[in-house]
């Protein structure tokens, strides 16, 4: 790859895992009683290489881009909704604004390739590669150079965010038609049957869903190369926002950040990132299981256990924002909860009190 250079991602050595587990187990509770919070505490401590992990300056990066295939009817909404929703983000009125504020996360909105001229706007990161992709129904959505540029701009966005002291970052997206792109990417990266990856997206009815399935199968059938190069797959079927997210994830892992993965489209971006840099996987926390068809299959492929299952299908990073307080709680109990020794309580007494 030319424009995009893979950074070194440190493999987790797990040298502190035994000590972290002992610290978790000696809190005033039966072993395992805090369930997945204990798993989170162990993972975050391992990522940060400390027995006292802490989350600093949490950010949410939402990347937006338009898809040429949206004009063919793969979505229930017109393409203009992409830029209109970006305006909503900038005005502070979208679901992700509300939930990020509630969680205490700083929201960064990036224009990776929206078919609209926003001008210079407070709160908007201009990372536009082009005003929307081409249609993968006709040819590649992106050129290889465009794809690499989007990956690199994701790296640059995270580099700037890291400058604030951030060590935990959530990912979100906006782009009419991007569940279709995510379905194609998921199929190509995992081998999951395409029919199991295609869902209703923004709310297609039965006829619209049937049309979407036909169009996406046609896109696959006319792909002449059908190679397994991860960047070529991303360029063929992806979106600028998806490629930017993949680059952002790789950069975040290289900086030992905790990566909070949202729903179906963000997980498709992660699949691309993992094909480029497999070491990213250990830095990921999976926020929730989306209602969008295909997300559960993605999570199963990744052997990932999501924190929440709330029947969400909005995107924008909303599931990641909702899950962030659980990460904060995991760090808090490890830092603040008394141990058996400090509380003067025997482990047997706690087990009896809990019904153990």
Q: What's residue 128's pLDDT?
A: 98
Question: From CA 241, how far away is CA 94, in angstroms rounded?
Answer: 18
CA distances in angstroms from 143 to 72, 191, 237, listed in the order given? 20, 24, 11
- The encoded tokens of residue 334 equal 């490890």
The string over 18-51, giving b where at least 16 C-beta atoms fall within 10 Å of a residue's C-beta and e elsewhere, is: eebeebbebbbbbeeebeebbbbbbbbbbbbeee
The reported pLDDT for the residue numbered 13 is 87
Q: Would residue 38 show up in a list of annotated catalytic residues for this protein? A: no
Choose among 41, 51, 169, 39: nearest CA to 103: 169
* 3-class SS of residue 316: coil
pLDDT of residue 1: 46
pLDDT at 228: 81
- CA–CA separation, 52 and 50 (whole Å): 5
Catalytic residue among 173, 241, 316, 341: 316
Provide the pLDDT for residue 5. 84
Sign of CA dihedral 232, 112, 260, 59: positive
Q: Going edge to edge, which strands form the sheet with 106-113?
A: 124-126, 106-113, 59-65, 168-174, 258-261, 284-286
**Spatial distance between the Cα atoms of 24 and 111, rounded to a whole number of angstroms:** 42
Label the pairing between strands 59-65 and 106-113: parallel
Angstrom distance (rounded) from CA 245 to CA 150? 8
Q: What are the structural domains of the chain?
A: 17-25+34-48+333-353 (no CATH), 59-330 (3.40.50.10210)
Report the C-alpha gap between 127 and 114 in whole angstroms: 10
Beta partners for residue 62, in sequence order: 109, 172
> Do residues 167 and 69 touch, judged by C-beta distance below 8 A?
no
Confidence at residue 72, expressed as pLDDT on a 0 to 100 scale: 82
Give the pLDDT of the chain (356 residues) as one tens digit per residue.
Answer: 445 789 999 889 899 999 999 999 999 999 999 999 999 999 999 999 999 999 999 999 999 999 999 988 778 789 999 999 999 999 999 999 999 999 999 999 999 999 999 999 999 999 999 999 999 999 999 999 999 999 999 999 999 999 999 999 999 999 999 999 999 999 999 999 999 999 888 788 888 888 899 999 999 999 877 778 999 999 999 999 999 999 999 999 999 999 999 999 999 999 999 999 999 999 999 999 999 999 999 999 999 999 999 999 999 999 999 999 999 999 999 999 999 888 788 765 544 544 44
Residue-level pLDDT at 224: 76
Round to whole Å and give the CA distance between 43 and 22: 14
pLDDT in the model for residue 245: 98
Residue 224 CA to residue 169 CA, distance in Å, equals 37
Minimal CA–CA distance to 240: which of 250, 248, 229? 248
Query: How far apart (Å, rounded) are the C-alpha atoms in residues 229 and 149?
Result: 17
> Given this model, what pLDDT does residue 3 score?
57
> What pLDDT is attached to residue 347?
60
What's the length of the chain? 356
């Amino acid at each position: 790859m030319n424009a995009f250079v893979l950074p070194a991602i440190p493999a987790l050595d797990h040298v502190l895992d035994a000590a972290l587990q002992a610290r978790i187990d000696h809190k005033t509770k039966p072993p395992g009683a805090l369930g997945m919070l204990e798993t989170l505490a162990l993972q975050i401590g391992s990522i940060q290489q400390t027995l006292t992990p802490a989350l600093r300056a949490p950010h949410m990066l939402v990347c937006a881009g338009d898809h040429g295939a949206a004009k063919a009817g793969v979505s229930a909404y017109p393409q203009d909704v992409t830029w209109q929703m970006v305006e909503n983000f900038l005005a502070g009125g979208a679901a992700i604004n509300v939930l990020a504020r509630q969680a205490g996360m700083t929201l960064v909105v990036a224009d990776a390739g929206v078919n609209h001229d926003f001008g210079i706007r407070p709160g908007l990161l201009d990372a536009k590669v082009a005003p929307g992709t081409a249609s993968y129904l006709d040819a590649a959505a992106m050129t290889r150079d465009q794809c690499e540029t989007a990956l690199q701009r994701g790296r640059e966005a995270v580099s700037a965010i890291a400058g604030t002291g951030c060590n935990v970052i959530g990912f979100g997206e906006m782009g009419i038609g991007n569940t279709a792109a995510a379905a194609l990417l998921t199929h190509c990266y995992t081998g999951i049957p395409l029919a199991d990856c295609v869902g209703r997206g923004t709310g297609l009815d039965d006829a619209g869903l049937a049309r979407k399935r036909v169009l996406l199968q046609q896109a696959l059938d006319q792909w002449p190369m059908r190679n397994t190069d991860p960047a070529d797959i991303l360029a063929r079927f992806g979106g600028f926002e998806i490629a930017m997210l993949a680059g952002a994830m790789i950069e975040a892992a290289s900086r030992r950040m905790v990566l909070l993965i949202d729903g179906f489209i963000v997980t498709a971006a992660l699949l691309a990132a993992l094909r480029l840099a497999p070491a990213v996987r250990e830095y990921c926390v999976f926020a929730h299981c989306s209602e969008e068809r295909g997300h559960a299959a993605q999570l199963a492929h990744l052997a990932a256990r999501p924190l929440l299952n709330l029947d969400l299908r909005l995107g924008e990073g909303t599931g990641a924002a909702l899950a962030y307080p659980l990460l904060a709680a995991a760090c808090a109990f490890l830092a603040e909860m008394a141990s058996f020794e400090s509380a003067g309580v025997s482990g047997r007494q706690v087990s009896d009190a809990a019904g153990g």
